[in-house]
């Protein structure tokens, strides 16, 4: 399997070199850094600042569970001095390519986080490491910050002071974000802190801020799954018996299931972000804004 991945990677690298002149590339100055997701990339960018030349592999809106790498991704991985991944098998589809092509260290930013379990379905068998969506609690992202700072300092010691200063600023922002979320959540009565979402991605958020994951439209960690009639019947029973009046689905996800549940139960459907930041003009273009967007949507949807 690894040999097949290596051959595929080399072919992709050759093609990527050919396409370099056809595809917009990051600036040539600065330490070459790769991040897998837009969320990991935003944190790396805030710490590295202008000292790094950052390539984010997944475009806005891509599902990290199922993303297939492009030729230019292989080239970026090959050239990177350090690669930041979320870890916990979130980037399952990218792991063989990263392993076969990386020459610098591969840093899982979630290392050190207290990992939450989840009730896996057969389609999620690769996620034996636990719930990878660690970023939904900003206190976990503080651990990301330190992991990224240490890694950048190791490969670029002359930038240590900048990385330290930027990491301290971001850690302070994350502390303030956590306090703000706590205040906002307090506007929702304890009885109404029940989330029904399209897939299992809010575990760390619910654990930190006193919510219950009452139901899932898709009993999975990824939107790349399907729901049975029994799954829908069970979640509709939860909605009806527990008085839930808003359900939340990921921006960009297929809303057919949510529309069916809404039609059957009369609930409102609200959108939140999950595995990707939004576009620059979306109100969720940075991690801090991403979290504020989601919290505002949740508070508006559940407060009465």
Per DSSP, the residues of 237-256 read: HHHHHHT--EEEEETTS--H
Q: Which residue has tokens 């991690």? A: 287
Q: What pLDDT, on a 0 to 100 scale, did the predictor assign at position 25?
A: 40
Q: How far is CA 237 from the centre of its chain?
A: 29
Q: Could you write out the three-class secondary structure of 36-65?
A: CCHHHHHHHHHHHHHHEEEEECCCCCCCCC
Of residues 254 and 203, which shows the higher confidence score? 203
Q: What pLDDT, on a 0 to 100 scale, did the predictor assign at position 228?
A: 74
- Whether the per-residue pLDDT at 11 is higher than 90: the answer is no
Q: Each residue of 57-69: pLDDT tens digit?
A: 999 999 887 888 8
Q: How far is CA 168 from the centre of its chain?
A: 22
Q: Domains in the chain, start-ordered, CATH in brackets?
A: 2-178 (3.40.50.1980), 183-302 (3.40.50.1980)
Q: Each residue of 71-81: pLDDT tens digit?
A: 999 999 999 99
């Amino acid at each position: 399997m690894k040999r097949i991945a290596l051959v595929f990677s080399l072919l992709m690298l050759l093609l990527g070199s050919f396409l370099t002149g056809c595809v917009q590339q990051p600036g040539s100055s600065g330490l070459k850094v790769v991040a897998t997701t837009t969320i990991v990339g935003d944190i790396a960018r805030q710490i590295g600042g202008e000292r790094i030349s950052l390539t984010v592999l997944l475009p806005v809106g891509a599902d990290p569970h199922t993303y297939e790498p492009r030729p230019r991704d292989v080239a970026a991985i090959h050239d990177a001095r350090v690669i930041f991944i979320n870890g916990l098998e979130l980037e399952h589809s990218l792991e063989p390519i990263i392993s076969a092509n990386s020459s610098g260290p591969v840093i899982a930013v979630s290392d050190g986080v207290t990992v939450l379990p989840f009730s896996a379905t057969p389609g999620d068998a690769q996620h034996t490491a636990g719930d990878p969506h660690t970023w939904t609690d900003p206190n976990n992202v503080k651990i990301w910050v330190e992991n990224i700072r240490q890694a950048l300092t190791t490969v670029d010691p002359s930038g240590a002071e900048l990385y330290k200063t930027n990491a301290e600023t971001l850690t302070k922002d994350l502390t303030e974000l956590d306090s703000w979320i706590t205040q906002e959540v307090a506007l929702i009565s304890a009885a109404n802190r029940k989330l029904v979402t399209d897939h299992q991605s809010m575990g760390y958020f619910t654990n930190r801020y006193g919510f219950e994951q009452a139901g899932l439209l898709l009993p999975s960690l990824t939107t790349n799954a399907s729901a049975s009639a029994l799954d829908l019947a069970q979640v509709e029973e939860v909605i009806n018996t527990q008085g839930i009046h808003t359900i939340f689905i990921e921006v960009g996800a297929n809303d057919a299931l949510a529309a069916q549940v809404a039609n059957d139960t009369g609930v409102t459907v609200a959108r939140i972000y999950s595995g990707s930041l939004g576009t620059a003009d979306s109100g969720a273009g940075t991690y801090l804004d991403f979290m504020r967007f989601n919290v505002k949507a949740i508070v508006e949807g559940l407060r009465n």
